[in-house]
Amino acid sequence: MIPALEPATELHAPAMAAIHQAAFPPGEVWSAAVLGLHAGLPGGFGFIDPRGGLVLARTIMDESEILTIGVLPQARRLGLGTRLLRAAMDQALARDARTMFLEVAEPNSAARALYTSLGFTDVGRRKRYYSNGDDALVMRVALA
Ligand SMILES: CC(C)(COP(=O)(O)OP(=O)(O)OC[C@H]1O[C@@H](n2cnc3c(N)ncnc32)[C@H](O)[C@@H]1OP(=O)(O)O)[C@@H](O)C(=O)NCCC(=O)NCCS
């Protein structure tokens, strides 16, 4: 049976940190403190897939932003990322957001393919946004 997604709160910070550490390269890992802080931001929300995935997002007025999303390497290509992103999009809509944005490193073809599959399109570029010199692409989807 596929386990239900769990809402992510500050109390889940250690569990989220374990997933984040395994899902991201060393320089991009968020600590439990940072993850807990983001989960507790005004307008912040997120979900954990007990099989090994997380998403955090934030909604301000009618705009929402994906703050981070990651899936354990051994749990990839099983639809976890899609389920987490869909859940975040649905939750943002329920909170009256009408658009959702995210930033993604240009070479991150896996993440870009996931986002494109759920309707996100490129709307901007931040030159040399990441510490390794990669550009960030800004992607957007209309939620309603
Ligand atoms: C990006 C990430 C969250 C995707 O999670 P996932 O659970 O593997 O995604 P899904 O299984 O839902 O994949 C959905 C679709 O995205 C695309 N996709 C995902 N991974 C891909 C890959 N490595 N190569 C090409 N397409 C890929 C495919 O279209 C896939 O559908 P398919 O498997 O039916 O072909 C995961 O690769 C990850 O955690 N990466 C490291 C962290 C990261 O880069 N986060 C995003 C930062 S912006």
pTM of the predicted model, to two decimals? 0.98
**3-state DSSP assignment of residue 128:** coil
The CA distance from 88 to 131, in Å, is 27
Q: How far is CA 24 from CA 16, 28, 54, 72, 144, in A?
A: 12, 6, 12, 9, 31
Which CATH number belongs to the domain containing residue 109 in this structure? 3.40.630.30
92 φ, ψ to 5°?
Answer: -60, -45
Q: Ligand 1: which atom is nearest the Cα of residue 115?
A: 16
| pLDDT per position as a tens digit, 97-132 | 999 999 999 999 999 999 999 999 999 999 999 989
Structural domain harbouring 86: 6-142
What pLDDT was estimated at residue 144? 82
CA 117 to ligand 1 centroid distance, Å:
10
Nearest CA to ligand 1 atom 43: 70
Instruction: Specify the number of domains making up the chain.
Output: 1
Classify residue 78: in a domain, yes or no.
Answer: yes
What one-letter code names the amino acid at 130?
Answer: Y
Q: How far apart are CA 32 and CA 102, in angstroms?
A: 21
According to the model, what pLDDT value does residue 44 have? 97
